[in-house]
Structure 1
Amino acid sequence: MKEAFLKFERWTTGAAMIAACLMMVVAASLGVFQIVTRFILEQPAEWSEILIRISLIWMVFLGIPAAFRYGAMVSVDVLYRWSPPKLRRVLDWVVCIAALTLIGIIIWWGWDYAQRGSVQSMAGLESISMFWAYLAMPVGGVFCVFGIVGNLLQPIRMELETAQ
């Protein structure tokens, strides 16, 4: 059961990270496009600015699960290093419960926010609902749950001194 979950978690975290990287490519490409159209062609494309913002929001919320998985989001390094092994496991559980509580709130309110935003349209892209922009919060939050639990089941700690 544990191995099956960890395999699924590796897949979901990897998929979220690939999607986050694609969103960064989209944002960078649209940024170059916007510079060319605005300063070289002197015909700015208003729609590219909102898409850059939305792709950056999606990039962040899809990149957070990998940070949770590798223990980079919640750091209690000093306390963890000074603690005996049994207390370290208690700290792992405390951090996991706190992170899941925070992510649960983000999922809950993010979904509510996305639903409320469904009546709004994007500036410059009037035919597309803001629902799709706000959906990044609950979708990223769901991916985070897998990363947080995966880090509890199989902790990965990248020490600053040994990471190169």
Structure 2
Amino acid sequence: MTSLRSRVLAVSRPLSLCVASTLLFIDLAVILYGVFMRYLAGGAPIWTDELARYLIIGSVLLAAGAVWVEGGHMRVALIERLLPAGLCRLLNWYQWLLTLGLAVAGTVISYDYAQSVAMFTSSGLGISRTIPMLSLPVGFALLSWHVLWYGPAPLRTQVEEAA
């Protein structure tokens, strides 16, 4: 099971980060286009600000699960270092279950929200608000996926190098 777990994470993490990076690159291009149009051409289209906002939200949410698995998120692991091994394993289980529960709840709640705004259109893009809002449940679902496959193992920590 461990090799299957590592293989699944070895495929899904880079894929999530690649899609998130692509969205971030598109976001940069949209922002630069908006700046160029606003300051050099005399007026930016209204959709550039809205699209940039949706793209940044989507890229962050798609990368959240992969960053969580890599231990690249902000956290303080002081308690884990001070606890004995048995209590540390219990804390790892608690953290895993809590993160998984919150990610699954976020998936369900954000999906319901995305469906509830289907009748509204976005002001700049003129599309149903459900389309950009679906990045929330997809991001939370990817976080749930990564957390589930990672399991209740100790989370990785970023080690500071001495200068």
TM-score where L is the length of structure 2: 0.89
CA distance in structure 2 between the aligned counterparts of 1:102 and 1:67, rounded to whole angstroms: 16
CA contact (8 A) 1:17 1:62 kept: yes
Partner of 2:123: 123
CA distance in structure 2 between the aligned counterparts of 1:30 and 1:15, rounded to whole angstroms: 23
With over 3 angstroms needed to count, the CA separation of the structure-2 counterparts of 1:35 and 1:49, relative to structure 1, is same
CA contact (8 A) 1:70 1:151 kept: no
CA contact (8 A) 1:71 1:151 kept: no
Partner of 1:24: 24
CA distance in structure 2 between the aligned counterparts of 1:154 and 1:39, rounded to whole angstroms: 51
1:76 Cα shift? 4.8
**Residue 58 of structure 1 pairs with residue 69 of structure 2:** no
CA contact (8 A) 1:106 1:141 kept: yes
Partner of 1:103: 103
CA distance in structure 2 between the aligned counterparts of 1:49 and 1:76, rounded to whole angstroms: 35
Q: Secondary structure of 2:44's partner?
A: coil
CA contact (8 A) 2:92 2:152 kept: no
- Paired amino acid for 1:10: A
TM-score where L is the length of structure 1: 0.88
Q: Which runs of 4+ in 1 moved over 4 A?
A: 153-156
Name stretches of at least 5 consecutive residues in structure 1 with no aligned partner: none
User: How many equivalent residue pairs?
Assistant: 163
What RMSD, in angstroms, separates the aligned Cα atoms of the two structures? 2.1
Q: Determine what percentage of the aligned residue pairs are the same residue.
A: 22
Name stretches of at least 5 consecutive residues in structure 2 with no aligned partner: none
Residue by residue over 1:144-164, the C-alpha shift from the partner in whole angstroms, topping out at 9 and shown as x without a partner, is 112223433654523332499
CA distance in structure 1 between the aligned counterparts of 2:48 and 2:68, rounded to whole angstroms: 31
CA distance in structure 1 between the aligned counterparts of 2:89 and 2:161, rounded to whole angstroms: 22
